[in-house]
Structures are given as C-alpha cells and as structure tokens.
Amino acid sequence: MFVEVAVPLPIDHPFTYRVPSGREACARIGVRVLVPFGRRRVTGLITGIVDGSSLGEREAREILAFLDDEPYISPAHLAFLSAAARECLAPMGEMLRAALPGGLPRRESPTSPRTETVYVAPAGSPDAALTPGQRKVVAAVLEAGEISSSDLSALVKGGAGIARRLVAKGILAASVREKSVTLAASHFPEPSGALVPTPHQEAALARTGVALASGGFAAFVLHGITGSGKTEVYLRAIEQARLTGRQSVYLVPEIALTPQLLGRVRARFGEGAAVLHSGLTRAERTHQWRRIRAGEVFLCIGARSAVFSPFASPGLFVVDEEHDSAYKQEEGIRYQARDIAVMRAKMEGAVVLLGSATPSAESIQRTRTGDATLLSLPERIGARHLPEISVVDLKGQSARRGADRYFSSALEDAVEETLSRGEKAMLFLNRRGYAPVLTCLDCGTTVHCRNCQVSLTFHKQDGVLLCHYCNAKEAPPERCGACGGHKVAQVGIGTERLVAWAARRWKEARVARLDSDLGRKRGFYEDLLSRMHSGEVDILVGTQMIAKGHDFPEVTFVGVLLADLSLSFPDFRSAERTFQILTQVSGRAGRGDRPGTVIIQTLSPEHVCIRKAAEHDFHGFMEAELAEREALGYPPFGRMLLLRLWGPKLERVQAAAEEVAEALSRPLSEAGISMLGPAPSPIAFVKRKHRYQILLKMPQRFAVGDLFPDLLRPLRDVAKKAGVRMEADVDPYNLMV
C-alpha cells in the first residue's frame, strides 16, 4: 500500500511513501506521519491513497510513524485546501503552511491558554469611603458586570492595581479565568441586541435567512453605504446560521484596525467566537485554530487566512469590505480570500455574503450574471445624510508656492469654519513621509534608492530618506551627488509635511497623524482612537488608515488633498480604487447629528471616478467602469495570470523570460490565451533584482488549475538553473513589480 504525503515545504508535488505492512488501517487521509525526507525526517500529511500498480519499479521509502489515530485535518477540509491550492497554482505544502497556524507539529503540544484575573462586584453597595480612583474602578466593574484586569486598566488608569486593593478590602471579588487573547475589549462599547432592524436590513436578512434555511449555496452582494448598518446584518446572519446548526467565518480586511468591531462581536457572542489574525502569537493562533477544529466555537472572525478555518460545517462566509485589496495575499502563496470564500461556500453548500459601500467590479458583475443576488442598504441609520462633496481643480493653484500650492482657499476656509464651530476635520493624503522626492535645483537629479528603481521619500521625523519598496535608509544628502550643488529641494507632500503645514496654519488646533509609520506601533492606534473619541484631536491627518470604518461623530469635514495619487498608477484597477477610497474617506464626514461636507482637490476634475464619487453615484461609476473593462477584456470579463521573473543579472532574467514565453506560446494559443510580454516590469529593479513579467489574459471561468501546474513546473526549473525565480500570480492586484 502506498500513500501520497504533502510536506509543508514549497515543493510542487506530493511524495509517495510505502505503508509498513500491518499498518494499513492507520493510513487514512488527513493523518500526520513522520517520513524520511532526504537525510532529514519531516512531518507530513497523508493527502491520498495511491494505487501501487501505477508506481512501476520505483522505490518508495517507508513511513516511519503515524502521529494520529484520528485525522488531524478532516478529509473534507483537506479536499477544500487542495482545491484552493490548485486554484492559486500553489504547492499543497505551501497551502498547508498558510492554512495551519502552527504548521504541522510533530507532537501536538498542549497550548496552555493564558489566564487572567476578572473582577466582579459583590451584591450590595460598598459602604467604605472610596477615593475618586476607587470609585471609578467600582463604577466600571458595576457597569461591565464582570471585567478583566487588562480591560479595567484600559478604562481607568492604574485600574488593575486599585482593583487588587479593593479585593483585599472585600469590596470587589476576583476570580481567574482563561484569557480571551483575542477579543480585547473595545473602549467604546455600543448597545447591541436591542436594535430593531430597519426595513432594508429586514429585507436583506429575509433573503439570507431563506438561503441559510435551504442549506444550499447562495451568494449575496450587500451594497450598503457607509453607516447603513451592514455590520448589524452580518451579526444577525451569523445568528441565523447558528440556528441552523452551522458555523460562520467573518472576514475583515485588517483586524488590527477594527477594535470597535471586536467589541461588538464580543458583546454579541462572547466566548462563542474565535479570532485569527497575524497580530496573535503563534501559540495563540494555534490555540484558536484548535478551538475551531474541536467545534468549541461557532464563529471565527479574522483577516484573510481565517477563510481556512477548520470548521466541520461552515454555513456562512461574511466578507466585509469585500472590495479591499488586503484580501489578496501578496507574499508566499498568493490567494484572494474573497474568491476562496466563494469557492468554499460552493463546496460546502453555504451562503456567502460580500458586503461593501463600494462593491468590487468582480462582485457587481456576479450580480449581473445572476451568480449573486444584490441586496441594498441605501440609507444611513437615523436618516443622516451623506455629506455634500465638492470638487476643487488644483490646476488653478500654480500661483501659490511651496506646500501652499496643495491648499485651495476653499479647503482652508472649510477647515477654518469647521474649527470655529468646535467641530473636527480630517485631511486625507495617500502618501506617508514628508516629501516623496528630493531634487537638485541646479542639475535636476533626483535621489534614488540604490536597490530599487524608485525615488527615496524624505521622512523628516526620523531624519532619513526611506525607500518604500525595500525599506533602505539613507541620510539626506547635503549636496547633490551628481553636480555637488547645494540646492537640494524637497518636492511634493506627504502626511508629515501636511501635519506641519496644518499646525503652522492653525496654531490653536491639536493636529494628529495616522499612517502606517505610526499606526503599526503598539498601542499607538488604540490611543489615537480614544483621543479622537474624547475630542482631543481637532485635525486628523492620514493615509488610507483614517478611511477605514471609524465612526467619529464630531468629524464634520473631510478634505482630500490630492485625489490623483492613486489614479496615476499604470493599473486597470486605478479608477476603481480611487472611487473606492474617495467614497470611503468621504463617508467619515457627518456621522453624528451634524451634516458633513467634503472637498476633493484634484488635477483631473473631469475624470469619471471623481465626478461619480462626488455625486455618490456608485452605479453610474460602475456602469462606465464595467463597459471599459469589457471593451478591453480585463477582469471581471476575463482572467489574468501574471508570471514574474526576477534575478540579479539582467541578461539572464531577460533570457529566461524569453525562453518561458517561447515555450508557452504554442500551448497558450491552442488554449485561446493571449500573452503580453515578456517586458520589464513597470518598476524593473527592486531589492537589487531585475524584474520581467509576462501577462496572460484568458476567458472568464478559465480553470487555471487544470492547465498551468503541469505547464509551469518544467519552466520554473529552467529559470532556476539560470539563477532566476519565477512566480505565478493568479488574478493579480499588483501589476507594478
């Protein structure tokens, strides 16, 4: 008897091993085994039983040990993972690495969950005289009913210490429980459960309810403007799925940016929810994964890898902000979590709910072909109006000098008025750093990264020039490296410079910044959110990070400094991305009782994505966008596959790319697939590697997993011999490098 074993290594094919005689009963799909591998021993997973007769004379090595009595991964889950691997042209071993948080451990070591202290208030009111700090702690405990020491400290400064002393005095009681590593408390709990769904929410839930009850595959696209109550629909649909005895997967683009959402999920589902994301330690992730596999929870909320949650019978896949490109994993195995969710829902006979204020062209096209049903939430909760958006043509600003040229008087006046009313403003600029380019005014030379074909960005706060592609740092030059001139100018504007400008212009205002330079620092983000909520920030400056999902009722004005930044990318999705980001950032204005206004500054006021964003006309934009995509055969009207080749020697990369293209040309034209390239990538030198690409366009629904694995395997080896790496990216999102 022989079995196929996948090892968690980036190798294209499984290996065949012999089952020791007498152990045939142990050889079940999904069981971990210890196998010899070269001169090592590795842990693998049985992925198939092989018919021994087809092996011919080949000598297969023997399995050393079986590590499980029951499958570590159920055969059904394994079938899904292997279908997913085929779809993204990834080796099964790589898929296992992506899908199993702890990899394939040899021994399933017990992950001991961390514990924490929780406090409760005994019945009756404390009669001891309390200090103000103690009173705050007691009030927080009473309000929460039960609260962990870390949550307490987040609410009251030094809260945990105070609580300990109150326990000693008998005013509070304490117990120890397993720490919920995952659902950290929101600082801004909101009422839940008692809400009465709006008629639009009701209508959407009626459709999901019927689909869930029928137990078959169904896809819905939930188009709801910002603040229309989409999250509430997700939470109730999860409840519906639970009533049918099935589990839910709830995907969000970036979980670290959604502490409020986690608070809501915890308020609703308590410990019935697991959380998976990259911010957890490996042990924590493994612990969560096992709770899911063991059926201890009915919900997993997480970033893209949560789509691989090992639930026995998932009935619902929610994909929030489904248009977000964060769902495309860009390192290691490249998969689109939203598309994998749809695929898995089909395999499981489950419901998939794709929600967004700006659904992707792909999803809207699904609703047009009948592959999905469109559900709409066209109104904001509480009859709040969408903000009024005006567009300002920046081209008339050339008379102003320096950073002033990025501020129209309309924008200045609007911020001024907002502040004078005691309200808050957001300024959005999709570029971090101080200045994106340093240029010599004498000879025109700009400072480039030595590893990449891009200019370096000046980061004033850190006093460095930084490459946004390879993270190389350099000291800013005092003279031009080419001509020795002294006039090296900082050209252009990033968020740091915008903050400096705003702080100079409005001296009384408290200006804060949020971008990925700061936002990834531990605690910074939560701290900023709570400062925003308590009204300690008057002007918030930031990149996309300020656009995502926040609800700051006091923000009544949003200014977009330069809408053109995302439009200028040589990428067929650039108009769609610009529309999405403008809509999203505009949606931050006027979420409270006062109406909001938005100003979009741009150099291309006539562009359809800017006009339609200003008119809140999603469907108008999508119609124009889809017509253009169809004319050019771009997704969603065709599929694409990008082959990237890179290596240290330009001639070799070029030669390998030509060889690959040559070898592919016949089989591809037979399959009706067109080929663009080979050509240097738009950014052709990154991290000291030269880059070439070949872009393949094929019909929609083309099964890439059927044709390409066998076609590409030998070519990858050919490239490798020349010192060139080759990677296949199915339905690529990044066409630049």
Q: How far is the CB of 447 from Zn ion (least distance, A)?
A: 12
Q: Which residues inside 381-420 make contact with ligand ADP, applying CB under 6 A?
A: 381
586 binds ligand ADP, rule: CB under 6 A: no
**HEC-encoded secondary structure of 693-707:** EEEEEEECCCCHHHH
Q: Please give the angle made by the CA atoms of 378, 380 and 385, to the nearest 5 degrees.
A: 105
449 touches, from ligand ADP, Zn ion, none (C-beta below 5 to 8 Å by class): Zn ion
Distance CA 268, CA 236 (A): 10
Cα distance between residue 414 and residue 408, in whole Å: 10
Residue 467 touching Zn ion (CB under 5 A): yes
Confirm or reject binding of residue 267 to ligand ADP (CB under 6 A): no
Q: Which is nearer to ligand ADP, 190 or 706 (CB)?
A: 190
159 makes contact with ligand ADP (CB under 6 A): no
| Interface with ligand ADP (CB under 6 A), residue from 228, 439, 457, 580 | 228
Query: Taking a C-beta distance cutoff of 8 angstroms, is the pair 271, 180 a contact?
Result: yes
Give how far Cα 491 sits from Cα of 78, 406, 437, 456, 593, Å: 53, 12, 5, 11, 40
Cβ at position 321, least distance to ligand ADP in Å:
9
Tokens of 95: 């898929």
Site for ligand ADP in 358-387 (CB under 6 A): 381
Structure-block tokens of residue 501? 């400008």
Q: Does 452 bind Zn ion (CB under 5 A)?
A: yes
Which residues does 73 contact at the CB level (< 8 Å), separation at least 6? Answer: 30, 45, 81, 100, 310
**Is-contact 589 555, C-beta < 8 A?**
yes
By C-beta, is 223 or 497 nearer to ligand ADP?
Answer: 223
Range in contact with Zn ion (rule: CB under 5 A) among 415-423, 445-453, 587-595, 669-677: 445-453
Cα 553–chain centre separation: 25
Query: Judged by CB under 6 A, does residue 227 bind ligand ADP?
Result: yes
Q: Which of 458, 469, 618, 621 binds Zn ion (CB under 5 A)?
A: 469
Among residues 225 and 724, whose Cβ is nearest to ligand ADP?
225
Query: Binds 467, which of ligand ADP, Zn ion, none (CB < 5 to 8 A, cut-off by type)?
Result: Zn ion
Residue 688 CB, nearest distance to ligand ADP (Å)? 44
Contact region for Zn ion (CB under 5 A) — 387-395, 438-446, 451-459, 481-489?
451-459
Q: Are strands 373-377 and 218-224 parallel, antiparallel or unpaired?
A: parallel
Half-sphere exposure of 334 (CA within 13 A, CB side): 16
The least distance separating ligand ADP from the CB of residue 127, rounded to whole angstroms, comes to 38
Asked if 232 is part of the footprint of ligand ADP (rule: CB under 6 A), the reply reads: yes
Distance, in Å, from the CA atom of 660 to the CA atom of 656, rounded to the nearest integer, reads 6
CB of 62 closer than 8 Å to CB of 17: yes
Handedness of CA 491, 493, 494, 498 (dihedral sign): positive
Q: How far apart are the C-alpha atoms of 634 and 638, rounded to whole Å?
A: 5
Per the CB < 8 A criterion, the answer to whether 259 and 186 are in contact is: yes
Residue 195 CB, nearest approach to ligand ADP (Å): 4
Q: Does 446 bind Zn ion (CB under 5 A)?
A: no
79 binds Zn ion (CB under 5 A): no
Taking CB under 5 A as the binding criterion, the range among 257-265, 416-424, 460-468, 520-528 that sits at the site for Zn ion is 460-468
The gap between the terminal CA atoms of the chain, to the nearest Å, is 46
The C-alpha atoms of residue 358 and residue 362 are separated, in whole angstroms, by 11
The sign of the torsion formed by the CA atoms of 141, 300, 315, 195 equals: positive
Select from 22-30, 192-200, 599-607, 714-722 the region that touches ligand ADP (CB under 6 A).
192-200
The nearest distance, CB 451 to Zn ion, in angstroms, is 4
Q: Should residue 93 be labelled a site residue for ligand ADP when binding is judged by CB under 6 A? A: no
Comparison of 14 and 253: residue with beta carbon closer to ligand ADP: 253
Which of 133, 161, 197, 535 touches ligand ADP by CB under 6 A? 197
The contact set with Zn ion (CB under 5 A) reads: 449, 451-452, 467, 469-470, 472
The contact set with ligand ADP (CB under 6 A) reads: 190, 195-198, 201, 224, 226-232, 381
